[in-house]
Amino acid sequence: MRSTALTLAMVVLGCKAALALPDCAGPVEIGHARIMRVERPNDALVLRDGRAVHMEGIRFPHAAQDRAPVIFEQQAFNAIDAMARGQVLTVTAMAPKEDRYDRVRGQVFNEDNPEPWLQIALLKSGLARVEIAPDRTECAAELYAAEAQARAQRLGLWAAPNYQVRTPEQLGTDAGTFQIVEGVVVSADLRDGRAYLDFGPDWRTDFTVTVAPQDMANFRRDGLDPRDYQGKRIRVRGIVQRFNGPEIEIANPQQIEVLQ
């Protein structure tokens, strides 16, 4: 009897607890994703069966695109390579499940990693930034919280001037780069179905956030009107373009953080 009890105890201790997946991540798409390599420059995880996984919700540092030191790009690649290559991972996915390159778009988990959720692990280390795609909404709050933790501690890329959160007045030379911008919406209006959030008195020169007519439904779905952001301090992110002044176009409310 004692031998049987000891054997059972050893079996129980030897078994891993089931991986707890966050509700926001959606259902399991690939239960045992065997990763063969991490593919650069887009940092896709390539499975042994030939499929590829895009790590949804984060943006890796890229020196050329970010006009930043290459060290952060290398550190991020080394980190995900260590956490993923040769490992058996779990991938969850929400619809639409694949991108135009046929990569599975999902959250990625490794139960053997100290932080099993690999997007969160990278964000908490300051080796990635949150980037919510126009057609995605899942896990935005969790991803933003992890990023904020690293930013507060100036970890990884957050120690570099290239990656600091910009004010609307600091975007003069940032056209073509992905930036995070924080400021107060001075005025908000709809013109020809497009929303304009202006961060200064002169829309011809000041920073503006826009929402295209076809994307307004994403705000209505959540009971929101972009004009309600007037007077609020918000944080937005995206590729800076120049139309009159600097501009970022967003497509859904998850791309806006309301600060106050």
pLDDT at 14: 41
pLDDT at 148: 98
Q: In sequence order, which ranges of 15-154 are alpha helices (DSSP H)?
A: 63-66, 70-84, 118-124, 140-152
Q: Does domain 18-159 have CATH number 2.40.50.90?
A: yes
> Domain segments of the chain: what residues?
18-159, 165-258
In angstroms, what CA-CA distances link 94 with 91, 98, 137, 233? 10, 9, 9, 30
Given this chain, do its domains 18-159 and 165-258 carry the same CATH topology?
A: yes
pLDDT tens sequence for the chain (260 residues)? 444 443 433 333 344 556 889 999 999 999 999 999 999 877 799 999 999 999 999 999 999 999 999 999 999 999 999 999 999 999 999 999 999 999 999 999 999 999 999 999 999 999 999 999 999 989 999 999 999 999 999 999 999 999 999 999 999 899 999 999 999 999 999 999 999 999 999 988 999 999 999 999 999 999 999 999 999 999 999 999 998 899 999 999 999 999 98
Fold observed for domain 165-258: OB fold (Dihydrolipoamide Acetyltransferase, E2P) (2.40.50)
Q: In 3-state terms, what secondary structure has residue 175?
A: coil
Q: In sequence order, which ranges of 180-256 are alpha helices (DSSP H)?
A: 216-221
126 neighbors 151 (Cβ within 8 angstroms): yes
Q: In 3-state terms, what secondary structure has residue 216?
A: helix
Task: Please give the Cα distance from 204 to 198 (Å, whole number).
Answer: 10
181 neighbors 257 (Cβ within 8 angstroms): no
Tell me the chain's radius of gyration from C-alpha atoms.
Answer: 21
pLDDT at 17: 56
Q: In sequence order, which ranges of 37-135 are alpha helices (DSSP H)?
A: 63-66, 70-84, 118-124
Please give the model's pTM, rounded to 2 decimal places.
0.91
150 neighbors 164 (Cβ within 8 angstroms): no
Task: Please give the Cα distance from 247 to 108 (Å, whole number).
Answer: 32
